[in-house]
């Protein structure tokens, strides 16, 4: 019985967090970016983990908005279960937008960067 109560309480605890994120989505939808989004390549997270823009806190970010990347350019690290996985661009182009913040938890398939292909 206690396990059922815990299972019920956990989704209830997550619901307010999802609700607090909802106001951000309309603000992004109103921006003109979605129209231009069709021509842009999305670099997505291949796993659930923590997003890091640089190899360590005292180092510069791998890429910034406006950075040129090639297919094998490392653009960030996603830490999953204490393993640091380098994520490559997989496309040649220019970073147009960074969609997540340093230290943010990311989901599988979540877009991390928008790249204008060359």
What is the CATH classification number for the domain harbouring 48?
A: 2.40.50.100
Q: Is residue 14 part of a domain?
A: no
- Asked if pLDDT for residue 30 goes beyond 90, the answer is no
DSSP state of 39: G
Helix (H, G, I), strand (E, B) or coil at 38: helix
Domain count, the chain: 1
Q: Is residue 87 part of a domain?
A: yes
Number of other residues whose CB lies within 10 A of the CB of residue 54:
14
For 57-94, the pLDDT digits (tens) are 999 999 999 999 999 999 999 999 999 999 999 999 99
> Against a cut of 0.75, is the pTM above it?
no
* Tokens 């307010």 sit on residue: 16
Domain that holds residue 49: 32-117
Q: Where is mean pLDDT largest: 10-24, 35-49, 85-99?
A: 85-99
Q: Is residue 89 part of a domain?
A: yes
**Looking at residue 2, what is its pLDDT?**
52
Terminal-to-terminal C-alpha distance of the chain: 58
Q: Is residue 15 part of a domain?
A: no
Instruction: Read off the pLDDT band of 33 (50, 70, 90).
Output: very low
How far apart (Å, rounded) are the C-alpha atoms in residues 75 and 112?
A: 9
DSSP state of 79: E
Are the beta carbons of 75 and 43 closer than 8 angstroms?
A: yes
Residue percentage of the chain with pLDDT more than 90: 66
DSSP 95-116: EEEE-S-TT-EE-TT-EEEEEE
């Amino acid at each position: 019985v206690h396990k059922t109560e815990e299972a019920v309480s956990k989704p209830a605890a997550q619901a307010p967090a999802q609700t607090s994120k909802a106001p951000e989505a309309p603000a992004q939808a109103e921006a003109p970016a979605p129209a231009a989004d069709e021509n842009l390549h999305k670099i997505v997270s291949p796993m659930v983990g923590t997003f890091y823009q640089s190899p360590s806190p005292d180092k510069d970010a791998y890429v910034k908005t406006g950075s040129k990347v090639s297919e094998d350019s490392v653009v960030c690290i996603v830490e999953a279960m204490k393993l640091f996985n380098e994520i490559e661009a997989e496309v040649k182009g220019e970073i147009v937008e960074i969609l997540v913040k340093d230290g943010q938890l990311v989901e599988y398939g979540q877009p991390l960067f928008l790249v204008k292909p060359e």
